[in-house]
Amino acid sequence: MLRRTLPRALSSASSSLHGVPLDATSINANVRAAEYAVRGNVLERSMELQRRMAAGEMLPFNKFVPCNIGNPHALLQLPLSFHRDVLALCISPHLATDHPSAFNTDAVERAQKYATGMGGGVGSYTNSQGILAVREEISAFITERDGHPAYADRIYLTNGASEGVRMLLTCLLRGGELRDGLLTPIPQYPLYSASLTLLGGTLVPYHLNESAEWGVQMENLAEALATARGNGVEVRGIAVINPGNPTGNILAEGQIRDIIQMAVDNKLVILADEVYQSNVWKEGASFSSFKKVACDMGYKGEDGDERLQLVSFHSTSKGYFGECGLRGGYMEVHGIGPEVRAELYKLASLSLCSNTIGQLAMGMMVNPPRPGDPSYQTFEQERGDILSSLRRRSMMVHEALNEMEGITCNKADGALYAFPRIRLSNKAKEAAAAKGIPADEYYCLKILDETGIILVPGSGFGQEEGTLHFRTTFLPSEDTMEETLRILASAHAKFMDDHRD
């Protein structure tokens, strides 16, 4: 009987080294360190309470209201008819012949166009950069929006905007002994802080000014950059969220120009997170993209002109569309040379392609029915109803929060959130410290236990030292939102009474 023997080198190594199982002590330390407050301790507590309620335990409330995350359809926002019809026809093409009267002709034609572009249908891999027909729709949308040309080969379809941000940061942050950093607004969406932690980057905070409607102050930005570089951090880019999450601020074109010029002067890549561009509530305000302002300033982004490097992100998850679960998104690169674009393509190809349903949803979001199309009137009515209701809810939340003791809240000029400041007593802060948690998290947990309303503590987004906040969406339906605010006001008053010094 032949006997297998290990090579001497392997046998020797095995005798001196032992395998390390994957456990809490051996997992990548960056994974342990990364935090994502939107799905953090308060949400975990809500899931525990949901299990207890499902087991028959009586709680002080009879339903949960998830105001912690921008997830419109989970809060019963209705999908748009045209978009779901086209998706149905793409998934099951036989529906067009089996039920010809059920679909408008423009929906059938759009599905046929996508089928031709995909070749093998929604179950097939696509080009790693995304379906060309959809990228052409996106480039046409950007061109129409900005008045400057956009190109399909500069667009990468992604599984939501978040994947695009992670891809770009993966290319930007070099790791190892290098201390690469990203200027990041505070408060910020925790995608940025968590991704920087995972990738070994350094978060360089620049604070938004709450007393000036959460505006960007260029002197603060310049100081943050100079301080970081003085401390040995190689600041490689700046993240900008416009309209803001969690703050709801909208950048004026003058502020955008200042940020662009600072990026040019300091060789910073701009990451423009513009997923809320359809959510503008302030009377007279409008959204201007970084791409538009850059081109207006003469930074056209053509190959060979890398004075400004800009990457813009958009998503199907927000706006009036709200299709979070379909995971559609794109990033457009501007002033990024062909060599880096090739590396981005390689990075995209590691996942083969983004999901086809999300790609198609992105195409329909940027290219909805037009005047004269059979589906246009229904689409325009559905979109208008969603946006006008969101505007009313944003005002409802702002007014109700400002009537509560110890709370002040700026108007949400855009996006889907309010980010009120809350002033808590020393007694409340001491109770939080005794539990080893931030005071705003203690407040959110108490509100959850009393009401079932799920909020996110401001400490998860970052905030100016000495201040406390929480974030809430205004996505529940108007009736539910009105009831939720009444319940929150009552629970808040009880919390304040229970914690008076």
Q: Is the pLDDT of residue 16 over 90?
A: no
Q: What is the pLDDT of residues 429-442, one digit of tens each?
A: 999 999 999 999 99
Tokens found for residue 38? 């939107």
Mean pLDDT of 225-230: 95
Res 255 pLDDT > 80: yes
> Are residues 195 and 259 located together in one domain of the fold?
yes
Provide the angle, in degrees to the nearest 10, between the axes of the packed helices 439-451 and 41-54: 20
For residues 299 and 189, state if they share a domain.
yes
Same domain, 244 and 349: yes
φ and ψ at residue 278, rounded to 5 degrees = -90, -5
pLDDT at site 1: 46
Q: Which domain holds residue 482?
A: 33-76+387-499
| pLDDT (0 to 100) of residue 37 | 63
Which residue did the predictor score with more confidence, 399 or 2? 399
What is the residue-averaged pLDDT of the chain?
A: 91
Mean pLDDT within 408-414: 95
Q: Is residue 266 part of a domain?
A: yes
Domain-embedded: residue 60: yes
pLDDT confidence of 4, banded at 50, 70, 90? low
Please report whether residue 97 resides in a domain: no
- 426 and 462 belong to one structural domain: yes
**396 and 361 assigned to the same domain:** no
Q: Is the predicted pLDDT of residue 71 greater than 70, yes or no? A: yes
Question: CATH number for the domain including 322?
Answer: 3.40.640.10
Asked whether residue 16 is domain-assigned, the answer is no
Q: What is the pLDDT of residues 264-315, one digit of tens each?
A: 999 999 999 999 999 999 988 999 999 999 999 999 988 878 899 999 999 9
**What gap in Å lies between CA 421 and CA 461, rounded to an integer?**
13
Residues 80-84 have a mean pLDDT of 96
32-41, 57-66, 415-424, 458-467: the lowest-pLDDT one: 32-41
Structure confidence at residue 119 (pLDDT): 78
Closest CA to 360 of 381, 329, 336, 391: 329
Does 39 share its domain with 138? no
In a domain, 117, yes or no: no
User: Between these two residues, 38 and 187, which has the higher pLDDT value?
Assistant: 187
For 105-162, write each residue's pLDDT tens digit. Answer: 999 999 999 998 887 788 888 889 999 999 999 999 999 999 999 999 999 999 999 9
pLDDT of residue 114: 92
Residue 282: half-sphere exposure toward Cβ, Cα within 13 Å: 18
Q: Is the CB of residue 157 less than 8 Å from the CB of residue 329?
A: yes
The torsion region of residue 184 among left (phi > 0), alpha (psi -120 to 50) and beta comes to beta
What is the pLDDT averaged over residues 224-253? 95
Q: What is the 3-state secondary structure (H, E, C) of 177-231?
A: CCCEEEEEEECCCCHHHHHHHHCCCEEEEEECEHHHCCECCHHHHHHHHHHHHHC
Contacting residues for 96 by C-beta, under 8 A, at least 6 apart: 89, 103, 108, 111
In this structure, the strands spanning 470-473 and 417-418 are antiparallel
pTM for the whole structure:
0.91
Cα 3 off chain centre by: 58
Q: How many domains does the chain have?
A: 2
Would 49 be classed as within a structural domain? yes
At residue 3, the pLDDT reads 52
- Give residue-wise pLDDT tens across range 349-385: 888 999 999 999 999 999 999 999 999 999 999 999 9
CA 389/CA 149 separation, integer angstroms? 34
Do 271 and 407 share a domain, yes or no?
Answer: no
Tell me: do 435 and 297 sit in the same domain. no
User: How would DSSP label each residue in 436-487?
Assistant: TS-HHHHHHHHHHHHH-EE-EEGGGT---TT--BEEEE--S-HHHHHHHHHH
- Same domain for 325 and 410, yes or no, is no
Contacts of 376 (CB under 8 A, 6+ apart): 369, 370
Residue 259 and residue 143 share a domain: yes
Kindly report the CATH number assigned to the domain that includes residue 477. Answer: 3.90.1150.10
Give the chain's count of helices (H) and strands (E).
18, 14
Residue 313 belongs to some domain of the structure: yes
The answer to whether residues 288 and 432 belong to one domain is no
Domain end residue (candidates: 366, 396, 428): 366
Of 333, 366, 399, the one marking the end of a domain is 366
pLDDT of residue 418: 95
Q: How far apart are CA 125 and CA 118, in angstroms?
A: 8
Secondary structure in 3-state letters for 239-254: EEECCCCCCCCCCCHH
Q: Is residue 5 part of a domain?
A: no
**Helix, coil or strand: residue 295:** helix
Q: Which residues, 6 or more positions from 278, have their beta carbon under 8 angstroms from its beta carbon?
A: 287, 318, 319, 320, 321, 387
Residue where one domain finishes, among candidates 366, 397, 416: 366
Residue among 320, 316, 324 nearest 74 (CA): 324
For the chain, the distance separating the N- and C-terminal CA atoms, rounded to the nearest angstrom, is 84
Mean pLDDT for 96-103 is 87
Alpha helices for 350-457 (secondary structure H): 356-366, 376-402, 426-435, 439-451
232: tokens are: 């040995």
**Helix, strand, coil percentages, rounded to 5, for the chain:** 50, 15, 40
Task: Give the pLDDT score at 5.
Answer: 55
Query: Of the candidates 214, 386, 385, 243, which has an alpha carbon nearest to the alpha carbon of residue 314?
Result: 243
Q: Does 400 lie in the same domain as 355? A: no
d(CA 32, CA 358): 30
